[in-house]
Amino acid sequence: MGTEAKLQFLSLINKVCTELESHIGCGEKVLAEFITNLGRESETLDEFDTKLKDNGAEMPDYFVRTLLTIIHAILPPKPKSQGEKKKSEEGKITAFAALAIADDKERAKELEKEILRETRQGKEGLVHITQMAKRRVTNAKDVVKRGQEVFIKVISKSGNKLSLSMKDVDQDTGKDLLPMKKSSEEETNRTNPASANPGPTTRTGLSGIPIVEDITTVPSRRPLKRMSSPEKWEAKQLFASGVLGVRDNPIYDEDGDVLLCHDEGAEEELEIELNEDEPPFLQGQSRYSIDMSPVKIFKNPEGSLSRAAALQSALIKERREVREQQQRTMLDSIPKDLNRPWEDPMPETGERHLAQELRGVGLAAYDMPEWKKEAYGKTITLGQRSKLSIQEQRQTLPIYKLKKELIQAVHDNQVLVVIGETGSGKTTQVTQYLAEAGYTTTGKIGCTQPRRVAAMSVAKRVAEEFGCRLGEEVGYAIRFEDCTGPDTVIKYMTDGMLLREILVDENLSQYSVIMLDEAHERTIHTDVLFGLLKQLVKRRPDLRLIVTSATLDAEKFSGYFFNCNIFTIPGRTFPVEILYTKQPESDYLDAALITVLQIHLTEPEGDILLFLTGQEEIDHACQSLFERMKGLGKNVPELIILPVYSALPSEMQSRIFDPAPPGKRKVVVATNIAEASLTIDGIFYVIDPGFAKQNVYNPKQGLDSLVITPISQASAKQRAGRAGRTGPGKCYRLYTESSYRNEMSPTSIPEIQRINLGLTTLTMKAMGINDLLSFDFMDPPSPQALVSAMEQLYSLGALDEEGLLTKLGRKMAEFPLDPPLSKMLLASVDLKCSDEILTIIAMIQTQNIFYRPREKQAQADQKRAKFFQPEGDHLTLLAVYEAWKAKNFSGPWCFENFVQSRSLRRAQDVRKQLLTIMDKYKLEVVSAGKDFTSIQKAIAAGFFFHAARKDPQEGYRTLVENQSVYIHPSSALFQRQPDWVVYHELVMTTKEYMREVTVIDPKWLVALAPRFFKVADPTKMSKRKRQERIEPLYDRYHEPNSWRLRYAQPVGADSSIPCKDQQQAFAEVVIDVLKDLITIWLNNCIGNDVFIIFHCVFILLMLVTEGGTAIAIFIRCFADKEGISDEFRQKLYIKFPRGAIATIAGMQTYDYILAMKEQSQSMELFDDSITSSDESTDFESPEKSTLVSQFICQGQKRDQSMIHPSQLRNLSSV
């Protein structure tokens, strides 16, 4: 070991000693050296943690991660020998055999060819000229043209020759004008009641779901809603009293103007439960066999940053609840009958004027909040961005001076890593330099972006610099939108689009250069592309691969790509002063706003950049800043407040790039998009609270959720660098330096390790990649996440019993949709409702269909309610699109109905793209008409994972995890509350709300997803029923839980007790919730104490609303009183052992008693019995003695009658 290496080793040992001393209080050098050696021998965190535990050193996860990061930063892990590597890989393969199936690209190609053969190899036939039209035709060219698509029907078959007819088919709709009766055996069996197989036939469709072929007509009306007995009685009384009319009857048919017959027979309740049979290829590996916990995204879950994130989440929820309450209060304050002042001939003074004003609420033009008016509502004269021409601006970029060197580096290296600060010009200039150098002669130059907006905006800028129209030589491609042409040579696209191109052409033969831009963001698609392109450059020596990043983690990228060369673009950065807080900030949002005002009032000129986590935080911050600036008066310089988040229109986002006018300052409040994707000049001050929102997947629950988490050290450095682009700047970090070093991980957790891998796994399977364990990921995902994804795909029918891709799975992979949506679309083809499902999927992909202006909320809600459908939100979205279509896609119609015209146009584009894929594979696009049941079935076929059942107590319970969820207030089903639903997604606001909800029949779940659900065994009690609580009908005369109390008559002192040998008495207390009968045996000699204990039990049962085991603890307190025999005390302790847990508001008994103790000091008399079961309670103190004696007197005075809980509260105040 050289001198330098020894110094590094000593420095490392010193650091490890310091960490051990601060965390476990033992910083011995020998221990530090031992742990360092273990860390160097470990390649992964799990391996290091396992070695520590094997040696008896179990430590918190965050501390293990910290130690490994420190060790690997100075001493990289030792390369394992071939034997060790093989042993490690064999262990993984044994544990997760389903992830190590051999790759089979030939099978994937065969599947693709088979699908294409099915769609392309149609039958050929001839149409005689007499069968072309009903009129006489002398020349076929008078009726058809070459290449024209026509509808035909087969009229006869002779061998392989088909005779066809055009005149018997409507050429506009394809409807058969002269339907012919089939004579096949199948048809005979289907129509002949006397046949061997009477009734409808069932076949398996394209999507794998059973299809019942019935000749009965398609239903022309919605199915009737089944009413419960109380609902029928209420409806009957309302009709009889005249409150409701005939048209209000649920069984009224609007089309026929009659009352329909309703089946009065009670339908037997169907009990459904999860099918826990493991897939054959996942035996011992599925969620029933292994622990699937969510990804740990906090380095130190107990640290100040984690606590601040939790607090801010709670504050966001609280602010949202306050806002909703204010809205409800405002709406409740508006009189409901605004016509009354005009009906009254002599109204009170001003009453009509008030009604007129209230009628006008919401009818005025949309009024933005005041801070938005200041930022966007009025014209602000901002400074000019630049007086230079486009070519002069290009020459000022740092990369311009290195143009020749860059082109030479690309020529000399097949793979090149390019490092440059944001704004150095690498995204816009590298592609142009390579095009000018002649790389477009052999193929296109492709550049990937992690965000849709970035791909579009960069392509627009490059087209402007290149001197062409967007879509010609320079274009872009994002999901559902392709703006390229045959002349396109520079193509910007999202990383997901390039992944889909590899699915079609694994060699990317039309590209000469691929540039992975913003690789440091490590999206899931980028990580998969890393592995695929690493294999591709071996097969294609002519392909050039460029990986660009704005951060300094180039060594990792270089090491992954065969230790390739690194090309660094020096940035024009200035020094940045880093300022930390002295103490942790619990409310980082309020601290950030104070810091903004402090900078504005005390610091020299220069714009401010504030990083927050999302739209809700940003809007709240902008509103608060505006109000605080307003309170400071007009003497303070103006502060221009500009938000940035993805939901803002592009014209509003572009305002952040304009310089502030002289004498004014702008503050840009942005999400982490401003870290690297946006370049904002003029920023001198950065405020970094240290948080961002991350999408995290829980494989156990199968849910994605956005969580506020601390950022990484790399992100913190990136944020600080934003302040040093124009001149020397300052970065205010609203966390301590200790938090930065100990609570922030060095780099962000890659997306592939924290989100759902369903679509990624399906795509890789479609490419023939079955061995997911051996795939060369830069940071491999957890095997548990991959197993969860494969289990989901198996349930959808995309994988077979061997874990290989099915025909259905291959078709699903063709659609740029999540697997449930793809399955839903393919199921709709079988259910003859694909036209409607296409529209619904397009509307789901486009968020924010409705808008709800602050000043017109009531009117917007009324308009929205007109589209509500009783089947749910999916059909409501369909109704909106169909109404827009009926109005010829009118913009004014959208304005009148509070619908975002931009969103509907986006949905129209998405629909066209999906229609193109449907046409490519010759999938039928058929309308279901009024058969809404088929549409509901298709939705359930894709989203059966998200089934929920109505909970008798409150809300709904999911079938997968029995999680409590609620229908969102904006849903069409919010007031209906059906028994069974499926939902598109869960959103967490004040509660777990279901979005896009549709009513289903529980029978469909078993029929459409037999691998996931099954009918419960009627001879056994299901899990759900075992957990269900008895809920009585509402009784207006009694307390809600009064029915629970059933007790025996109390035994008094003078009572004659008919017990064996007159030696024992007994009392029985029934506890309903626990379904237990607790018997307390009392010794007869204790006399009056029997009466006292009975009444104590009685009172406590009234106080306890759930469960009842808590009374055991209380009785033990009285059991220690003088005069109570040892025999009673002994039996009581046996019956109720110490540590019994009561189901009281979800708390343990001890917690419940402590809570009561805080309310009243008199509860101290109960506390001693909990702390020790062997020591008797001290009743000799005057205070306690007085209380007990009064308690006894109260019990004797009331004799055997009931003591009300208020009596106990009164006694407690003594």
What value does the mean pLDDT take over residues 623-646?
Answer: 87
What confidence score (pLDDT) does residue 878 get? 94
Question: Per-residue b/e over 797-834, b at no fewer than 16 CB within 10 Å?
Answer: bbbbeebbbbbbbbbbbbbbbbbbbbbbbbbbbbbbbb
Read off the tokens for 1208. Answer: 């106990």
What value does the mean pLDDT take over residues 232-249?
Answer: 71
Q: In the beta sheet, which residues pair with residue 252?
A: 259
C-alpha 897/C-alpha 878 separation (Å) is 15
User: Is the predicted pLDDT of residue 797 greater than 80, yes or no?
Assistant: yes
Strands (E), 495-594: 511-516, 544-549, 565-569, 576-580
Place 824 in a pLDDT band, splitting at 50, 70 and 90: very high
Query: Radius of gyration over alpha carbons of the chain, in Å?
Result: 36
What value does the mean pLDDT take over residues 13-40?
Answer: 81
Place 120 in a pLDDT band, splitting at 50, 70 and 90: very low
What confidence score (pLDDT) does residue 112 get? 61
Phi-psi domain of 520 (left: phi exceeds 0; alpha: psi -120 through 50; beta: other): alpha
What confidence score (pLDDT) does residue 755 get? 85
| Phi/psi at 1073 (5° precision) | -65, -45
Mean pLDDT of the chain: 74
Question: Per-residue b/e over 78-96, b at no fewer than 16 CB within 10 Å?
Answer: eeeeeeeeeeeeeeeeeeb
Instruction: Decide if 227 is inside a domain.
Output: no
Q: Report which of residues 112 and 914 the model is more confident about.
A: 914
User: Do residues 991 and 1117 both lie within one domain?
Assistant: no
C-alpha 1014/C-alpha 1011 separation (Å) is 8
Nearest to 756 by CA among 66, 294, 93, 137: 294
User: Is the predicted pLDDT of residue 469 greater than 70, yes or no?
Assistant: yes
Question: Cβ distance 677 to 718 under 8 Å?
Answer: no
What confidence score (pLDDT) does residue 1101 get? 47
Nearest to 341 by CA among 323, 332, 354, 326: 354
CA–chain centroid gap for 64, Å, is 29
C-alpha 976/C-alpha 969 separation (Å) is 11
Q: CA triplet 961, 963, 966: central angle to 5 degrees? A: 140
Residue corresponding to tokens 């000019």: 384
* Alpha helix ranges (H) inside 80-166: 82-95, 105-120
Place 139 in a pLDDT band, splitting at 50, 70 and 90: confident
H/E element, 957: strand 956-958
C-alpha 955/C-alpha 960 separation (Å) is 16
Instruction: Give the whole-number percent of the chain exceeding pLDDT 90.
Output: 23
Which is it for the CA torsion 1169, 1171, 1174, 1176, positive or negative? negative
Place 122 in a pLDDT band, splitting at 50, 70 and 90: low
Instruction: Decide if 675 is inside a domain.
Output: yes
**Residue where one domain finishes, among candidates 960, 990, 1024:** 1024
C-alpha 565/C-alpha 547 separation (Å) is 11
Residues sharing a CB contact under 8 Å with residue 1123, sequence separation 6 or more, in sequence order: 1086, 1087, 1089
C-alpha 254/C-alpha 261 separation (Å) is 14
CA–chain centroid gap for 935, Å, is 24
Other residues' Cβ atoms within 10 Å of the Cβ of residue 1047: 14
What value does the mean pLDDT take over residues 211-224?
Answer: 56
Question: Cβ distance 374 to 626 under 8 Å?
Answer: yes
Place 1190 in a pLDDT band, splitting at 50, 70 and 90: very low
What are the percentages of helix, strand and coil residues in the chain, rounded to 5? 45, 15, 40
What confidence score (pLDDT) does residue 1139 get? 33
Place 80 in a pLDDT band, splitting at 50, 70 and 90: low
Look up the domain containing 27 and give its range: 3-79
C-alpha 1069/C-alpha 274 separation (Å) is 37
What confidence score (pLDDT) does residue 1085 get? 42
What value does the mean pLDDT take over residues 937-966?
Answer: 89
User: Do residues 844 and 974 both lie within one domain?
Assistant: yes
What CATH number did the domain enclosing 721 receive?
A: 3.40.50.300
Instruction: Decide if 240 is inside a domain.
Output: yes
What value does the mean pLDDT take over residues 133-148?
Answer: 79
Strands (E), 183-338: 201-204, 210-213, 252-253, 258-259, 272-274
Nearest to 1077 by CA among 1048, 1106, 1051: 1048
Residue type, 354: L
What value does the mean pLDDT take over residues 641-665?
Answer: 79
H/E element, 1069: strand 1064-1071
C-alpha 888/C-alpha 728 separation (Å) is 56
DSSP line for 1075-1101 = TEEEEEEEEGGGTTHHHHHHHHHHHHH
Place 1065 in a pLDDT band, splitting at 50, 70 and 90: very low
C-alpha 761/C-alpha 1034 separation (Å) is 51
What value does the mean pLDDT take over residues 195-202?
Answer: 52
Phi-psi domain of 1139 (left: phi exceeds 0; alpha: psi -120 through 50; beta: other): left
User: Is the predicted pLDDT of residue 937 greater than 90, yes or no?
Assistant: yes
Place 1053 in a pLDDT band, splitting at 50, 70 and 90: very low
Instruction: Decide if 136 is inside a domain.
Output: no
Among 97-106, 226-235, 977-986, name the most confident range.
977-986
Helices 61-74/3-24 angle, 10° precision: 170
H/E element, 153: strand 153-158
What confidence score (pLDDT) does residue 286 get? 64
User: Is the predicted pLDDT of residue 896 greater than 60, yes or no?
Assistant: yes
User: Do residues 615 and 642 both lie within one domain?
Assistant: yes
Q: What's the DSSP call for residue 374?
A: I
What value does the mean pLDDT take over residues 931-955?
Answer: 91
Residue corresponding to tokens 């500009």: 642
Instruction: Decide if 1104 is inside a domain.
Output: yes
What confidence score (pLDDT) does residue 1158 get? 39
Place 263 in a pLDDT band, splitting at 50, 70 and 90: very low
Q: What's the DSSP call for residue 981?
A: E
Nearest to 625 by CA among 660, 594, 663, 647: 594
Instruction: Decide if 75 is inside a domain.
Output: yes
User: Do residues 1064 and 1002 both lie within one domain?
Assistant: no
User: Do residues 1116 and 1192 both lie within one domain?
Assistant: yes
C-alpha 164/C-alpha 173 separation (Å) is 17
What value does the mean pLDDT take over residues 977-991?
Answer: 84
Q: In the beta sheet, which residues pair with residue 1064?
A: 1083
C-alpha 565/C-alpha 560 separation (Å) is 11
User: Do residues 1162 and 1122 both lie within one domain?
Assistant: yes
What confidence score (pLDDT) does residue 187 get? 38
What confidence score (pLDDT) does residue 1177 get? 34
**Residue where one domain finishes, among candidates 53, 79, 105:** 79
Nearest to 944 by CA among 1024, 840, 827: 827
CA–chain centroid gap for 951, Å, is 22
Instruction: Give the whole-number percent of the chain exceeding pLDDT 70.
Output: 65
What confidence score (pLDDT) does residue 16 get? 84
Instruction: Decide if 192 is inside a domain.
Output: no
User: Do residues 853 and 960 both lie within one domain?
Assistant: yes
Question: Cβ distance 517 to 449 under 8 Å?
Answer: yes
User: Do residues 674 and 593 both lie within one domain?
Assistant: yes
Place 571 in a pLDDT band, splitting at 50, 70 and 90: confident
C-alpha 525/C-alpha 543 separation (Å) is 20
Question: Cβ distance 98 to 134 under 8 Å?
Answer: no
Question: Cβ distance 748 to 711 under 8 Å?
Answer: yes
Among 223-227, 861-865, 1087-1091, name the most confident range.
861-865
Question: Cβ distance 1021 to 1034 under 8 Å?
Answer: no
Question: Per-residue b/e over 869-888, b at no fewer than 16 CB within 10 Å?
Answer: bbbbbbbbbbbbbeebeeee
Q: How many structural domains does the chain have?
A: 6
User: Do residues 655 and 541 both lie within one domain?
Assistant: no
What confidence score (pLDDT) does residue 290 get? 55
User: Do residues 532 and 593 both lie within one domain?
Assistant: no
Residue type, 971: S
* Global pTM value: 0.68
Residue corresponding to tokens 């949506």: 821
User: Do residues 865 and 909 both lie within one domain?
Assistant: yes
Q: In the beta sheet, which residues pair with residue 669?
A: 610, 643
Place 73 in a pLDDT band, splitting at 50, 70 and 90: confident
Which is it for the CA torsion 216, 220, 222, 227, positive or negative? negative
Place 920 in a pLDDT band, splitting at 50, 70 and 90: confident
What CATH number did the domain enclosing 973 receive?
A: 1.20.120.1080
Classified as helix, coil or strand, 964 is: strand
Instruction: Decide if 1077 is inside a domain.
Output: yes
Question: Cβ distance 1057 to 1065 under 8 Å?
Answer: yes
**Residue where one domain finishes, among candidates 737, 759, 782:** 737
Three-state secondary structure string covering 503-529: HHCCCCCCEEEEEECCHHHCCHHHHHH
Q: What's the DSSP call for residue 687?
A: E
What confidence score (pLDDT) does residue 1117 get? 43
Q: What is the dihedral of CA 283, 287, 289, 295, to 10 degrees?
A: 130
User: Do residues 912 and 1006 both lie within one domain?
Assistant: yes
Residues sharing a CB contact under 8 Å with residue 175, sequence separation 6 or more, in sequence order: 169
